[in-house]
Amino acid sequence: MKAIRLMDVVKYTKAIDYTAKDRQISITSVEFDARKVTPGSLFVPLVGGATDGHSYIQQALDNGAVATLWSADPAQAPSDDLAVVFVDDTLQALQDLANFYRRDLNPIVVGVTGSNGKTTTKDMTAMVLQAKYRVHKTQGNYNNEIGLPYTLLQMPEDTQVAVIEMGMSDFGEIKQLSEIAQPDIAAITLIGESHLEFLGSRAGIAQAKLEILYGLKPNGVLLYPANEPLIESEMPEIDQPIYLRSFGFTDHADAFAYDMVEEVDRTYFKTNLEPNVTCTIPVLGAYNVSNALIALSVAELLDVPLEQAIFQLANFQLTANRLEWLTTHQGARLLNDAYNASPTSVLAVLKSLAALNLAPGQRRIAVLGDVRELGEASAQLHRSLAQGLAPESFERVYLFGPEIASLYETLQDRYEASHLFYEPADHSRLIAQLQADLTDKDLVLVKSSFGTDLLQVVTALTGKETH
């Protein structure tokens, strides 16, 4: 982080008041977790749920904080050598400070949202841009109202491009994030069914994702899936010029892929953006080719030579728990994708795995958990996953969670009882059944929403800690 002055914090957080023995204090990092505070930090005590960050002020002070924001009782504010900036709302102050810091550094900002594929697209985009620029990107899943401003405040002084992931669960959230980040380029990966419980319909989901336009800079670019009519029908009225560019698998898209070949741990394709070069991504799936098209489109917009971008793309690394190939104790290959799920993403990965050629004696096994936040459509959408499952493509199916019971009922007429396993709540029973069944010739998919906690199943089967 570029050092900022205490008086800038006072000004841009709209402070009510402040106390400081030294007004020239230099702040070299901003932390909301007292455990991460280092000498020179500004501590931001956030308040939420059962936790009040003000309670950790002594730990922050012990770790070297030189200043703190403060929205609790002023009489309880620390004194001594710690500068205190009094604000009405520490979260709002964090966001305002991030907005100032972004303007001060003035990088090109690429914002990424969508129902699925945000993290992969962010990682791919950052990787291709590194061929020309000094790039800062969202770490892990720091993509919400706390994580996004924190990400911006972590930017090194020499950052030229920031690739920022934006997540949400309800209306208004992407608008807020986009107005903080103010992207030059915005990308919507796809419109799926994630958060249907709160947004009501796919049209509502499209409206929520399109809120990214409210922070898009004048003459900015929106990248969107060419096969999604909801983008056009739900497009909000924006009082500034923007440019639209589509991506997909049909030749009417501005960026399209063709001649795709999928293997277990990589996918090959060609694109009209650079038709003389075969692109390689080190992950499975047509849906990841779609994500790669976003990355290559951003590279083209920012004048990165596409041959260099394609070379970079072949070497990108996924964030943990996203399409991660592991080996079980029995020697089976396990595809860990248990961090996030929607019906669309489940069907996409099932389709990709079903298309792979198997060696003699090899089996495909699907381990699927609940897809959360589908609301009243949950039973119907879980049943719809049956279109991706058949004995000839997935010899055995393991289902976990109360909401996926409707899929179990649907599959009972399709699978022999010994090839279909359902467990509503007990992870240990699922683990025991899988440990007894798996062999070294199996390809195993583990896919679910994070809240279903199939990551503990992955850990038990492979010995790898997941978090």
Annotated binding-site residue numbers for ATP: 114-120
Q: How far apart are CA 17 and CA 116, in angstroms?
A: 43
How many CB atoms within 10 Å of residue 14? 12
How many CB atoms within 10 Å of residue 450? 15
Residue ranges with strand state E in 93-160: 108-113, 135-137
Residue ranges with strand state E in 347-389: 363-369
3-state helix vs strand vs coil in the chain, percent to 5: 35, 20, 40
The two three-digit tokens of residue 388, written as one number: 């991706």
Q: If you write DSSP's letter for every residue of 29-90 in order, what string do you get?
A: EEESSGGG--TTEEE---EETTEEGGGGHHHHHHTT--EEEE-S-GGGS--TT-EEEE-S-H
Phi/psi region, residue 114 (left: phi>0; alpha: psi -120 to 50; beta: rest), is: left
**b/e sequence 364-395, b meaning 16+ C-beta within 10 Å:** bbbbbbbbbbbeebbbebbbbbbebbeeebbb
Task: Kindly tell me the burial class for residue 57, based on how many C-beta atoms sit within 10 Å of its own C-beta (0-12, 13-18, 19 or more).
Answer: buried
What residue type is 124 in one-letter code? M
Give the angle 146-148-153 at the CA atoms, nearest 5°: 95
Nearest to 155 by CA among 38, 62, 29: 29
- Beta-bridge partners for 279: 269
The two three-digit tokens of residue 414, written as one number: 């399709």
The two three-digit tokens of residue 187, written as one number: 């990308």
What residue type is 138 in one-letter code? T
Question: What is the Cα Rg of the chain in Å?
Answer: 24
Which residues are annotated as part of the binding site?
A: 114-120
DSSP code for 128:
H
